[in-house]
Structure 1
Amino acid sequence: MPHSAQIKIPATYMRGGTSKGVFFRLQDLPEAAQVPGKARDALLLRVIGSPDPYGKQIDGMGAATSSTSKTVILSKSSRPGHDVDYLFGQVSIDQPFVDWSGNCGNLSAAVGPFAISNGLVDAARVPRDGVAVVRIWQANIGKTIVAHVPMTDGAVQETGEFELDGVTFPAAEVQLEFMDPAAEEDGAGGAMFPTGNVVDALEVPGVGTLQATMINAGIPTVFVNADAIGYTGTELQDAINGDAAALARFEAIRAHGALRMGLIRTLDEAASRQHTPKVAFVAKPAGYTASSGKAVTAGDIDLLVRALSMGKLHHAMMGTAAVAIGTAAATPGTLVNLAAGGGAREAVRFGHPSGTLRVGAQAQQVEGEWQVTKAVMSRSARVLMEGWVRVPGDAF
């Protein structure tokens, strides 16, 4: 019986922040997958092992969570003032689609290291020792990210003492600057708050009318108060991810928020746009035990935040959602800002299921509208494996 042989494609498996993904240079992809479309999506689905009705991604590189079902395509940038173009694809676990609607802030930490190591950054811009500044064009959302990548003896430094809650081992620190992170695409019209308000009454049939902060910064995000939906803000994954009714309520909030933000035209479109917007709930500081067993006290943090990604409570915090948290915290009157105690602030430390994270942002009002110039946070990244990924030749 005829069969199709496997082909091999140069690839690197990397951790960035609290996520993992398969990284490709655009030039290394099969010709049909070098342009957006069905062939590219089919290839990436097969690489990751989706769609998988068992929900395990056993026959691919995915690891059955939204944090590990990710792909990245990088190329030299022709855009002035940038070194590399970065395209992120969030691969659905059980459905046959790749969501290109947003960025992954965690994997953003791995883009600079990969770009340097794979010849995508002009060698003259990379010091032998010190810090290389890599200017990244985030193609999904049309934004600039500046990565500060440590270098030692002419190579990217990956090991170090920087600790990140949600990541088991310490590594080298990569500082990221998300420039002008308020989204300008997806129908937001350039407004950080697409409804024109820092807090709205969001009507969600079957759930109720909730106070909500809907923001486009880092990634479109819908924030609600934890106590309004029956939570404390100290929950870990098991408290929510095994509760089908709770997940359905969160999806309803997300879908109605997307509609209100102008990201979709009908509620039906939310099903094929799982990556954005995110939905998160916030609460004032309280002590809890993180998933690692680490004790987090109320004095360690400014507020509590829990966020869902691809229909599940995230084990830590998405990097892009952290940008949204920092931006909202810096904007007086948002639910995030109020949970953190209100008033003006340029940085916030929040508690998430794996521990704590600090993110900084500077917001200002210009002609009556809030704007933020950049958000800053530190992550780490490391190459886990490099070589070739193999897929059946007829998979795309």
Structure 2
Amino acid sequence: MYQPQIKIPATYMRGGTSKGVFFRLQDLPEAAQVAGEKRDKLLLRVIGSPDPYGKHTDGMGGATSSTSKTVILSASDKPDHDVDYLFGQVSIDKPFIDWSGNCGNLTAAVGAFAIANDLVHPDRIPDDGIAEIRIWQANIQKTIIAHIPMTNGEVQETGDFELDGVTFPAAEVQVDFVEPVDGAIFPTGNLVDKLEVPGVGVLNATLINAGIPTVFLNADEIGYQGTELQEAINGSPEALARFETIRAHGAIKMGLIQDVAEAANRQHTPKVAFVASPKSYTASSGKQVNAEDIDLLVRALSMGKLHHAMMGTAAVAIAAAAAIPGTLVNQAAGGGDRESVTFGHPSGTLTVGGKASQANGHWNVDKVSMSRSARVLMEGWVRIPSDTLA
């Protein structure tokens, strides 16, 4: 006899250029309140993965890396933090969830969800003005500060802030990534490495661990201009396979994996991005991006596909690399000392700020800031078959 579905409180939210299903830890079934197979099975079923059709028709996912995301939040017991934020990147066609990194875009929605769902002490929330929500990012063990606008005691979601890659304007949310580097910012100790990739060649690469581990390449060395839109790469299986090979060998060079075969089960990190000096182009929305309005071009891949805009964590890596003279990102932006850059991506432009300092020959990144927006799309319950947790 078939059992009725399980009903779980959830909120569907957009944060930056991503969207995902948000849960309070306490609302999950008891078996899924701890990390492990049952939690992963639950979240896979919520999203609708694995889906051999690549559509997520039977779940809440959107069948892209930007929309196959889950978030679990709880009140933080860490000093000087309000909420703990755990992010799961759900594979579309394989039965696994990658817990190895953060989603910078969805970070913009974390503070709003935490306030609305009683995860933040009332004393920390003004009736009007800006609530500074101190987030502990559990995946990468880092602090993030989200500046949430408040009006009449409630989160203000509407506004006139426009974010390229998002169709409609909303309220601006400033997000500060505090000391976003985990360990050495350059795992190899070099600003630029020679990355040997079988079947591709020897590439100049900046391997950086800020926001999320990222492999930066020069566009011209791999046959691109830096003005490409999604179809130019996502429509080519050969190009995608080549980028995955580069990513796997970059992961080895960064010490994230020991063998290229391990990369298949670590799709979320590292990211691969390529940079170029400014050129004018037409964004996917039809918007004209003029070379004189940007400092450089960046295109980045996430979960095996070219991203339609820019991942928030990769934007942190861009800001950090741009602030350090000599990296490929800094060189593409014209070199020199920089505390902010505006870069062109497939959907338009984004400005990010980064402050770096050098001590005893080692680089440190103190803070990276960017503006995003977020809003609730739907709230209520998700339902999954009860045998999911059997």
1:371 aligned partner, one-letter code: N
2:233 to 231, 236, 240: 240
Give, in angstroms, the shift of residue 267 of structure 1: 1.1
| Secondary structure at 1:238 match in 2 | helix
User: 1:38 is matched by which residue type in structure 2?
Assistant: E
SS in 2 for 1:134: strand
Correspondences of 1:109-148 after superposition (within 5 Å): 109-148=108-147
1:353 paired with 2:338, answer no
Partner-residue secondary structure (3-state), 1:395: helix
Residue equivalent to 2:209: 216
Amino acid at match of 1:120: L
For 2:294 and 2:381, locate their aligned partners in 1 and report how far apart those are by CA, in whole Å: 43
The number of residue pairs the alignment matches comes to 389
1:115 CA drift (Å) = 0.2
**Distance between the aligned counterparts of 1:129 and 1:394, measured in 2?**
46
Query: Which consecutive unaligned segments of at least 5 residues does structure 1 have?
Result: 184-189
Structural mapping, 1:360-375, within 5 Å: 360-375=353-368
| 1:330-355 alpha-carbon deviations (Å, 9 max, x no partner) | 00000000000000000000000000
- The answer for the alignment partner of 1:149 in structure 2 is 148
Aligned with residue 337 of structure 2, among 317, 322, 344: 344
State the partner residue of 1:201.
194
Find the counterpart in structure 2 of residue 187 from structure 1: none
Indicate which of 236, 255, 258 corresponds to 2:248: 255
**TM-superposed deviation, 1:144:** 0.2
SS of the residue 2:387 aligns to: coil
CA distance in 2, matches of 1:243, 1:4: 44
Kindly provide the amino acid, as one letter, of the partner of residue 189 in structure 2.
G
Matched to 2:174, the amino acid is: Q
Partners of 2:3 and 2:328 lie apart in 1 by 54
Structure 2 counterparts to residues 83-102 of structure 1, below 5 A: 83-102=82-101
Cα deviation digits, residues 256-301 of structure 1 (max 9, x gap): 0000001111111100000000000000000000000000000110
Partner SS state of residue 390, structure 1: strand
Post-superposition Cα deviations, 1:202-249, rounded to whole Å, max 9, x if no partner, equal 000001000000000000000000000000000000100010000000
The equivalent of 2:267 in structure 1 is 274
Q: What is residue 42 of structure 1 aligned with on the other side?
A: 41
AA partner of residue 203 (structure 1): E
Which amino acid in structure 1 is aligned with residue 56 of structure 2? Answer: Q
- Tell me how far 1:193 sits from its aligned partner: 0.2
Deviation of 1:74 after TM superposition, in Å, equals 0.1
One-letter amino acid matched to 2:344? G
CA displacement 1:140-191 (0-9 Å, x = unmatched): 00000000000001000000010000000000000000000012xxxxxx10
- Normalising by structure 2, we get a TM-score of 0.99
Q: Distance in 2 between matches of 1:373 and 1:330?
A: 11
Structure 1 runs of 4+ with >2 Å offset: none
Q: Whole-Å Cα distance in 2 between the matches of residues 46 and 56 of structure 1? A: 14
Q: 2:221 aligns with which of 228, 238, 243?
A: 228
* Structure 2 match to 1:298: 291
Cα distance in structure 2, aligned partners of 1:281 and 1:369: 24
- Measured in 2, the distance between the counterparts of 1:276 and 1:100 equals 10
The whole-number CA distance in structure 2 between the counterparts of 1:264 and 1:374 is 27
Corresponding position of 1:176? 175
Q: What's the CA shift for 1:366?
A: 1.2
TM-score, scaled relative to structure 1: 0.98
Partners of 2:149 and 2:173 in 1: how far apart?
7
* Residue 4 of structure 1, CA deviation: 2.6
Gaps of 5+ in 2: none
Please state how far the C-alpha of 1:7 moved relative to its aligned partner.
Answer: 0.8
Q: Tell me the distance in 1 between the aligned counterparts of 2:77 and 2:272.
A: 35
2:180 and 2:279 mapped to 1: Cα distance?
A: 29
For 1:366 and 1:34, the matched residues in 2 are separated by: 42
Partner residue of 1:52? Answer: 51
